[in-house]
Amino acid sequence: MTWQSARYAAGSAGSIVDHMREMSSQHVPVMTRPERKRLAFLTSTHVVDDLYQGAVPALLPFLAIERHYSYTGLTGITLAATFLASVVQPGFGALTDKYRNLGWLVAVGLLVAGLGIGVSGLGDNYLITWFAVAASGIGVAAYHPEATRTARGLAGDSTQAMSWFSVGGNAGIALGPAIVTPVLLATRLHGTPLLALPAVVMASVLAVRRPWRQVRPRSAGRARAAGRRDDDWRGFARLTVVVVLRSVAYFGVASLLALFAIRHFHSSAAVGSAALTVFIGSGVIGTLGGGWLADHWQRVGVLRLGYGLSAVAAALLAAAPDLAVLFVAAFFLGIVLFAPFAVQVTLGQDFLPNRIGIASGVTLGLATSAGGLAAPLFGLLADTYGLTTALGAIIAFPAIACALTFLLRDPRLAATVARDAA
């Protein structure tokens, strides 16, 4: 990986804005104050749930140091958190579409996510850790479809409001390393049961408040309107490919960034964790900024811009000559890679207006899990050719995702055009 490749990626991404073809959004939805409060609470549960996704990459350096796992073994732990989740997540979405009394999955899923991480450090057996982390991934998968349906019911058509819910997940993932690292530095892997405490507390609060029963009445009207529109499975399939490519890029960086900082630049575990926290934490800025831009500009355009710039940032990350540049690149990559996050959720729900659960499970849940299936391949690549080569390979995924967005058309704009023509 060279600086020339980074400049080439920058030149390729520079043409994205010139090729934007959709119309800008002209109506910005507004939420009431009670709706904001309810969404804020639901967002706080999202923070806790996805904290356990962020905990998995943060566990890897400690597993490497205390148990001497290889890169392949370490990325296999990432696979544990994502493989079963990727398989069962659409199933949970289908269940919530068919049965509307499954709100309890929000609380139970969150609790299982926390308990899985809580037992992951107990014992020295690799399989125990693998299955514990896998159980946590299933818990995360159970949480997302119904929680996202509830959030959309509160947010209405506001992409920016959905970005606040989505940013709860980003914040949770960012908090993962910030919480896991000091706890395990003090207690080592035997202290992982302490990490389950936030899930136990929040699941108890959820069981009392039950936010899935507080969706505004007008969501029913929107559901009836959606019932008059057909599901666009072809458009949704294209979006799903983009979502998966984004997930592969995210998990590749999340699995290797801390290790790259530690071993390539001979830094401490704390520095590696800080680099990972910067990458994931800056995603909060990207998610909120992407939601705001989608409401005021265009949703598909945000996807194109975000993924094009992500290829540039990934090239800069792999070519970083020192830690300062690495941290800058990680910060920039976090912003642009997360910018399309909430936008994808609302696009998916509009492509499948009659299958909100499936759409939510794929675009929000699968977006943060499917890429883990490819994580062991990056580990194998790092074992064979080195961490720099493995990070450089990540560039291709946001670049391809950017190209595929030119096949997407915003269903909301298409419906507006059809209505005007009628």
pLDDT at 30: 61
- Of the candidates 375, 316, 279, the one whose C-alpha atom is nearest the C-alpha of residue 77 is 375
What value does the CA radius of gyration of the chain take, rounded to a whole number of Å?
20
Asked whether residue 381 carries a pLDDT value surpassing 70, the answer given is yes
User: pLDDT value at position 20?
Assistant: 43
The number of angstroms, rounded, from the C-alpha of 408 to the middle of its chain's C-alpha atoms is 20
What mean pLDDT comes out for the span 345-354? 88
Is residue 422's pLDDT more than 70? no
Q: Residue 115: what pLDDT?
A: 95
Q: List CB contacts of 244: < 8 A, sequence separation 6 or more.
A: 366, 370, 371
Let me know: does 57 contact 258? Beta carbons within 8 Å: yes
pLDDT confidence of residue 320? 94
pLDDT tens track for 129-151: 899 999 998 998 888 888 888 88
Region for residue 399 given its phi and psi (left: phi exceeds 0; alpha: psi -120 to 50; beta: otherwise)? alpha
263-267-269 Cα angle (round to 5): 90
Cβ contact 377:358 at 8 Å: no
* Structure-token match 């959709």, residue found: 22
How far is the C-alpha of 64 from the C-alpha of 66, rounded, in Å? 6
Q: What is the pLDDT of residue 114?
A: 94
Of residues 274, 203, 263, the one with CA closest to residue 45: 203
Residues of the chain with pLDDT > 70, as a percent, come to: 85
Q: How far is CA 284 from its chain centroid?
A: 11
pLDDT tier, 402 (very low <50, low <70, confident <90, very high otherwise): very high
Give me the numbers of helices (H) and strands (E) for the chain, helices first please.
Answer: 18, 0
pLDDT of residue 221: 45
pLDDT surpassing 70 at residue 8? no
Q: CA dist 91 to 43, 87, 103, 242, 354, Å?
A: 23, 8, 15, 20, 16
pLDDT for 18: 46
pLDDT digits (tens, 9 = 90+) for 197-232: 999 999 999 988 887 776 654 444 444 444 467 889
When pLDDT is averaged across residues 380-394 and rounded to a whole number, the result is 92
pLDDT value of position 228 = 61
pLDDT at 219: 44
* Inter-residue contact 211 to 150 (CB < 8 Å): yes
Task: Tell me the pLDDT band of 419, cut-offs 50, 70 and 90.
Answer: low
Q: Give 121's pLDDT tier (boundaries 50, 70, 90).
A: confident
pLDDT on residue 199: 95
Tokens representing 388 are: 């720099």
**Block residue for tokens 């929680």:** 147
> Considering the chain, what percentage of its residues have pLDDT values greater than 90?
35
Residue 1 has pLDDT above 60, yes or no: no
Q: What CA–CA distance (Å, rounded) separates 375 from 139?
A: 20
Total number of residues shown for the chain: 422
- For 259-278, the pLDDT digits (tens) are 999 999 998 888 998 898 89
pLDDT of residue 22 exceeding 50, the answer is no
The answer on pLDDT for 19 being more than 50 is: no
Q: How confident is the model at residue 420, as a pLDDT?
A: 54
pLDDT given for residue 400 in this prediction = 97
Band (pLDDT 50/70/90 cuts) for residue 31 is low
Q: What's the pLDDT band for 93 if we cut at 50, 70, 90? A: confident
The CA distances from residue 31 to 151, 193, 198, 298, in Å, are 12, 39, 29, 20
Is residue 397 pLDDT above 90, yes or no? yes
In this prediction, residue 167 has a pLDDT band, given cuts at 50, 70 and 90, of confident
Instruction: Please state, as a whole number, how many other Cβ atoms lie within 10 Å of the Cβ of residue 126.
Output: 15
Alpha carbons 238 and 408: distance in angstroms, whole number: 7
Residue 369 pLDDT exceeds 70:
no
Kindly report which listed range (165-169, 180-184, 349-353, 394-398) carries the lowest average pLDDT score: 165-169
What integer best gives the mean pLDDT of the chain? 82
Q: Domains in the chain, ordered, with CATH?
A: 32-421 (1.20.1250.20)
Which tops the pLDDT comparison, 338 or 422?
A: 338
SS3 percent helix, strand, coil of the chain, rounded to 5, is 85, 0, 15
> Which ranges of 159-232 does DSSP label H, i.e. alpha helix?
159-187, 197-209, 218-227
pLDDT at site 313 = 96
3-state DSSP assignment of residue 196: helix
